[in-house]
Amino acid sequence: MTNIAAVLHGANDLRVEPIPVPEIKENEVLLAMKSVGICGSDLKYWMYGKCGKFTMEKPMVIGHEGSGEVVKLGPGVKHLKIGDRVAVEPGVPCGRCPLCKTGRYNLCQSIFFCATPPDDGNLCRFYKHSAEFCYRLPDHVTDDEGAMLEPLAVAVYSCRKGQVGLGTRLLICGAGPVGILTLLVAKQNGATTVAITDIDSTRLALAKSLGADYAFKVTTDEPSTLATDILDVVGDFPDVTIECSGTNFGFSTGIYATVPGGSLVMVGRVPGGAEFPLNLAFTKEIDIRGVFRYANCYPTALQLVSKGLVNVKALISHRFTIDESLKAFQTAASRDTKAVKVIIQCEPN
* Paired residues of 265 in beta bridges: 242, 289
Q: Which is nearer to ligand 572, 209 or 292 (CB)?
A: 292
Judge whether 241 and 262 are in contact, CB under 8 Å.
yes
Judge whether 94 and 110 are in contact, CB under 8 Å.
yes
The runs of H, that is alpha helices, within 55-142 are 98-101
Angle at alpha carbon of residue 247, lines to 245 and 251, rounded to 5°: 90
Q: Which is nearer to ligand 572, 143 or 150 (CB)?
A: 150
Contact string 30-69 vs ligand 572 (x = CB under 6 A):
---------xxx---------xxxx---------------
**Is residue 150 within the footprint of ligand 572 (CB under 6 A)?**
yes
Q: Which is nearer to ligand 572, 158 or 193 (CB)?
A: 158
238 — alpha (psi -120 to 50), left (phi > 0) or beta? beta
Estimate the crossing angle of helix 248-257 against helix 223-234, to 10 degrees. 50
**Is residue 38 within the footprint of Zn ion (CB under 5 A)?**
no
Distance CA 132, CA 299 (A): 12
**Is residue 133 within the footprint of ligand 572 (CB under 6 A)?**
no
**Is residue 316 within the footprint of ligand 572 (CB under 6 A)?**
no
Q: Which is nearer to ligand 572, 124 or 148 (CB)?
A: 148
**Is residue 293 within the footprint of ligand 572 (CB under 6 A)?**
yes
Among 9, 269, 289, 338, binds ligand 572 (CB under 6 A): 269
Which partner in Zn ion, ligand 572, none is near 292 (CB below 5 to 8 A by kind)?
A: ligand 572
The runs of H, that is alpha helices, within 24-76 are 40-48
Binding site residues, ligand 572, CB under 6 A: 39-41, 51-54, 116, 150, 154, 269, 292-293
Binding site residues, Zn ion, CB under 5 A: 39
